[in-house]
């Protein structure tokens, strides 16, 4: 599973960003409802988080640290991203 994340996590994040962008575009131009406009930022945060975690797993960043420290950094990044979701999703 870790090897799959090393290869495809960036594409998964990009797909999430594109899905959020498509939902916002459809909402603005076709459905004309009052969807939360911060959805595009949430998708962007998902993409950034996925790319950063993929870089850490592929040892592009934090190469001098142990696996335990890298896992702690990944948990910290995911926690910060979830906090940003909460702040952006509030009405």
pLDDT digits (tens, 9 = 90+) for 8-51: 999 999 999 999 999 988 888 888 887 777 888 889 999 999 99
CB atoms closer than 10 angstroms to residue 81: 18
Is 90 exceeded by the pLDDT of residue 76?
Answer: yes
33, two tokens? 């409802």
Q: Give the separation between CA 66 and CA 43, rounded to whole angstroms.
A: 30
Above 70 in pLDDT, residue 84? yes
DSSP helix/strand/coil, 64: coil
Q: 91 falls in which pLDDT band (50, 70, 90)?
A: low
């Amino acid at each position: 599973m870790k090897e799959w994340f090393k290869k495809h996590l960036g594409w998964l994040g990009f797909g999430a960003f594109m899905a959020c962008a498509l939902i916002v575009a459809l909402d603005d131009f076709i459905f004309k409802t009052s969807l939360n406009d911060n959805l595009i930022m949430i998708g962007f945060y998902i993409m950034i988080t996925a790319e950063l975690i993929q870089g850490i797993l592929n040892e592009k960043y934090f190469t001098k640290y142990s696996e335990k420290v890298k896992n702690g950094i990944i948990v910290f990044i995911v926690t910060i991203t979830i906090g940003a979701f909460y702040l952006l999703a509030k009405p």
